[in-house]
Amino acid sequence: MSIDYPPHPPRNKKELFTRLRAILQHGWYDLPATARTAGTGGPGNFLEDLFGLTTGNLDIADSMGWELKYYTAKTNLITLFHKEPQPKDVMLYLVRKYGWLDAEGRKGLRHTVSGKSDMFKVQDDANQIFVRPLKSEGNDPIPYWSHETLLGIAAGKLRRLLLVKGERDGNKIRFVQADCFEDLHLSLLAYELEQGTIAIDFDARESKPNSAVLRNHGTKFRIPPGNMCRLYMKKERFVI
């Protein structure tokens, strides 16, 4: 059975919620066999298509101030946004100082800090978020982000969030719950980072052994789905 995709994104909140209810009430969909719906990101892309986001570059955040994110019961962390730390080249220093060798002799650092890890701790100091090594050595560079930088990204991308939970059985998928979050509490962002509610995830490695060029997958700010509500003042839930 063919799927009747909307020709355009929702143009207002009422239309957004109308489409959301229809998607939840539909039940099981047959996931189309296309390149866009293949792989782990396929269900999320399919959900975008059901909202009329079929042009590839448009999203609800751009069109009407909503960010759309998909997850399942197995999702541990949802990515809020990506942002590399200051100062310049600090990721190269971290990889060389704290990374480990892979089978091809390249140093890499894949490490998540949720408030504190076995190597680092997050500190909020002087309107900056630092990831400090537990054993600091002299004037070594410390990765940091200013409050202004982080709040600017969050305010632009996450001011309103539609978080949709799905279930998959082979090639079938259904969407069973949606949480609509509004009024992002920006003053809590730094607090939740220091407390570990929001994790900072480093993921970079040398492109070649001893190379000064990194293959950087981006520093991610991530949060468990169940804790997303801690960042917002207004919440509304839809279930099937």
What CATH number does the domain containing 108 carry? 3.30.70.3570
Residue 4 lies in a domain: no
Cα-Cα-Cα-Cα dihedral of 187, 190, 196, 200, to 10°? Answer: 130
Residue 3 lies in a domain: no
Cβ atoms 133, 139 nearer than 8 A: no
| Residue range of the domain that includes 75 | 13-239
Cβ atoms 6, 19 nearer than 8 A: yes
Positions in the chain short of pLDDT 70? 1-2, 54-64
Residue 214, beta-bridge partner list? 206
State the pLDDT at residue 19.
93
State the pLDDT at residue 64.
67
State the pLDDT at residue 5.
84
Residue 213 lies in a domain: yes
Cβ atoms 111, 117 nearer than 8 A: yes
The CA distance from 180 to 17, in Å, is 9
Residue 120 lies in a domain: yes
Residue 148 lies in a domain: yes
Please tell me the total count of domains within the chain. 1
State the pLDDT at residue 197.
97
pTM, entire model: 0.90
Residue 74 lies in a domain: yes
Residue 85 lies in a domain: yes
State the pLDDT at residue 57.
46
Which two structure tokens, joined as six digits, stand for 184?
Answer: 């992002």
Phi, psi of 15, rounded to the nearest 5 degrees: -70, -35
Cβ atoms 87, 141 nearer than 8 A: yes
Task: Give CA separation, 209 vs 82, 93, 96, 109, in Å.
Answer: 26, 14, 11, 14
